[in-house]
Amino acid sequence: MKELYGLGTALTTPFTEDNQVDYPALKKHLDYINEEGVDYYVVNGTTGESATLSKAESAEILSFVKKYNAGKRAIVFGIGGNNTQAVLDTISQTDFEGVTAILSVCPYYNKPSQRGIYLHFKAIADASPVPVILYNVPGRTVISMSVETIAELAKHPNIIGLKDASSSIEVAIDLSRTLPDDFLLLSGDDNLFTAQASLGYKGVISVIGNGFPKEFYELVHSAMEGDFDNAKRLQGKFLDFDTLLYIESNPVGIKCVLDIKGIYDGRVRLPLAKASDELYQKMETSMRKEGFL
């Protein structure tokens, strides 16, 4: 599925002062990343604050992105959770026209066994009318899919890939040697992509791509084309900056960046809090240091 190679930007969700989805700001954001660099969009992920969006809001955002998808790029839609039946209900209620695949997170909080994880994703893959990308992010879910579980799930004809946010090169090596060559390995860790590309990863679902689409698009495609000198140079520019993005949780940091760049205000929904003045100062200093402003 080559339309999902390269830079997939995990879209943020802008909010108005009265805490509603800010669609004019979202349009401005889409125009910005469309002009600067993106291969496909990821809607309703963690970076989009999916945990605090209603089902109606998520569906409306998806419809909006479809409408203003100027380059007719692929769209991946986040549908996941720790209540399997609720996920299946959402799948049955979703309009999948224009959606290339769904991204489904490993069940959180319940702490299922590996067998439970397998059965959860099997049920989702059986029900979904579009292909499924697994999402392993143990830093948020506590539980982690084992390489063995991922390999077993990869046998399902409707499970096509994995977003790996394990933050582990050792896991990346194990995945790359264990999974079939046609299984889509995508990075969920912007800072690790150059290394992961050398292991056969086909792209990244990125937070940084929201704020620096041009620079990160160049990094991703340099690494995928084997120009590791250029990729390494660009990866180094993001090294310290990437850490700042997560000090006050994602997407607080990247929304701070978007605010500094004048794309839209950095408001987030509770229980997240807007970036502190200290983070704004540190972020702007880092951006100037690396030539991003």
- What is residue 203's three-state secondary structure? strand
214 included as an active-site residue: no
Q: Are 201 and 193 in contact (CB under 8 A)?
A: yes
List the catalytic residue out of 40, 41, 118, 135.
Answer: 135
List the catalytic residue out of 163, 202, 255, 282.
Answer: 163
| Binding site feature residues for pyruvate | 47, 205
Can you spell out the DSSP letters for the chain?
A: -GGGSEEEEE----B-TTSSB-HHHHHHHHHHHHHH--SEEEESSGGGTGGGS-HHHHHHHHHHHHHT-TT--EEEEE---S-HHHHHHHHHH---TT--EEEEEPP-SS---HHHHHHHHHHHHHH-SS-EEEEE-HHHHS----HHHHHHHTTSTTEEEEEE----HHHHHHHHHHS-TTSEEEES-GGGHHHHHTTT--EEEESGGGT-HHHHHHHHHHHHTT-HHHHHHHHHHHHHHHHHHTTT-TTHHHHHHHHHTTSS-----TTS-PPPHHHHHHHHHHHHHTT--
163 included as an active-site residue: yes
Query: What is the four-CA torsion angle of 19, 105, 263, 99, rounded to 10 degrees?
Result: -100
- What is residue 157's three-state secondary structure? coil
| Binding site feature residues | 47, 205
Where in the sequence numbering do the catalytic residues fall? 135, 163
